[in-house]
Amino acid sequence: MKITRLVPFILHAPVTRGAVADSTHALTHWGAPGVAIHTDTGHVGYGYTGTHAHLATDRLITDCIAEAYAPLLIGEDPMEVRGLWEKLYRHAEIFWVGRSGITHLALSAVDVALWDLKAKALGLPLWKLLGGSPKRVEAYNTDGGWLNFSLDQVVADCQKLTQESGYRAVKVKVGGPDAGEDVRRVAAVRRAIGPDVRLMADANGRWSLPEAIQTCRRLAEFDLTWIEEPLAFDDVVGHRRLAASVPVPVALGEQLYMTEQFRDFIAHEAVHYVQADAVRLAGVTQWWTVAELAHANRLPVMPHVGDMAQLHLQLCIAHPACDLLEYIPWLSPWMKHPVRVEAGRFAVPQEPGAGTEPSVRALNEINRLA
């Protein structure tokens, strides 16, 4: 089998709640800049990364795919995914300007498309190609806790998610301008959902170290499963100090690009829940390395879902370090085989591939931008 053509796309899907915000970002759409990789056998693989639907930088990502990576892939055998990843990652000129950021997000899309293609060509869902067996993956819902929603709205949403929709875990955003308000929101949600639902809080990198120490101490009584990205995303020393001084476990990783960064956070005991995201880590290939590293250190991997769980569900089924996965529904209406959550658990997908193929409607209706 040979690669014949790469066709970039940019999907911008509206967020289901109209407009949402965390402490650092506000958005109305989720972006999925990606690529379709075509072959001489007619098989097509799809991969994408996740963005805040900022068209100018989404185009940098698809340009990087078309200009830098596509010429290196034409004529290659797509089944040799790991070899191709090495070829693209270690390409001297791209390496000089890359290793994170735009090139890495572009490489994520390419790598995921290659895995999707390989799984389809073999007629297997990716979790089975990776050697997994069907397994229970719990879903935690993040779409009820946005920082731009009132306290009453957040409480009502979390109540609905847990009592009507059957979620046994929810995440709320914190890191607003008033720490007292953060504490009131978490307290009210904990009261509303009861003691048996897992509750997480996400500060999206907002706090200084003293603010994080103080607020985490106040939040500790609400039995948080984790505090997420309390400090600046890449700050190993800061997170080490925080983890040593508060009783709340620390989760992070959604903005880390390299295995070495995870190695350092883990070696310094600066992270408890490893939120490796394959669509930022340059794809499945490097995500797997990070998951193995975490697993060897007895740390659970609870991926961040830049892909909106389509790919990460496959990875979580396949990897023993994973049993809880974020769910946000933004891309579901636009995928050929959207992930399904029933009574708080992900159904095991059976279709061949990585789950990353957009629907025909998505490619027609929301891909007007590539």
Count, residues near ligand 0YR per rule CB under 6 A = 8
Counting contacts by CB under 5 A, is residue 143 touching Mg ion?
no
In the list ligand 0YR, Mg ion, none, the entry touching 102 (Cβ below 5 to 8 angstroms by class) is none
Is residue 277 close enough to count as binding ligand 0YR by CB under 6 A? Answer: no
Least distance to ligand 0YR from the beta carbon of 194, Å? 23
Residues 40 to 79 in contact with ligand 0YR, rule: CB under 6 A: none
Nearest residue to Mg ion, scored by beta-carbon proximity: 202
User: Between residues 202 and 235, which has the closer beta carbon with respect to Mg ion?
Assistant: 202
Catalytic positions are: 173, 304
CB of residue 147 to ligand 0YR, shortest distance in Å:
9
CB of 196 to ligand 0YR, least distance (A): 22
Contacting residue, 202, 235, 307, 357, with ligand 0YR by CB under 6 A:
202
* Footprint (CB under 5 A) of Mg ion, residues 173-212: 202
Q: What mask, x for binding ligand 0YR by CB under 6 A, covers residues 279 to 308?
A: -------------------------x----
* 204 lies in the binding site for ligand 0YR (CB under 6 A): yes
235 binding partner (options ligand 0YR, Mg ion, none; Cβ < 5 to 8 Å by kind): none
Please give the residue whose beta carbon sits closest to ligand 0YR in the complex. 25
* Chain length of the chain: 370
230-269 mask for ligand 0YR (x: CB under 6 A)? ------------------------x---------------
State the SS3 of the chain. Answer: CCEEEEEEEEEEEECCCCCEECCCCEECEEEEEEEEEEECCCCEEEEECCECCCHHHHHHHHHHHHHHHHHHHCCCCCCCHHHHHHHHHCCHHHHHHCCCHHHHHHHHHHHHHHHHHHHHHCCCEHHHHCCCCCCCEEEEECCCCCCCCCHHHHHHHHHHHHHCCCCCEEEEECCCCCHHHHHHHHHHHHHHHCCCCEEEEECCCCCCHHHHHHHHHHHHHHCEEEEECCCCCCCHHHHHHHHHHCCCCEEECCCCCCHHHHHHHHHCCCCCEECCCCCCCCCHHHHHHHHHHHHHCCCCECCCCCCCCHHHHHHHHHCCCCCEEEECCCCHHHECCCCCEECCEECCCCCCECCCCECHHHHHHCCCCC
Find the part of the chain contacting Mg ion (CB under 5 A) among 13-21, 69-77, 82-90, 225-233: 225-233
**What separation in angstroms does the CA of 301 have from each of 6, 178, 288?**
32, 31, 11
Asked whether position 22 contacts ligand 0YR by CB under 6 A, the answer is yes
22 vs 58, which CB is nearer to ligand 0YR? Answer: 22
Which residues form the interface with ligand 0YR (CB under 6 A)? 22, 25, 27, 142, 202, 204, 254, 304
Residue numbers at the binding site for Mg ion (CB under 5 A): 202, 228
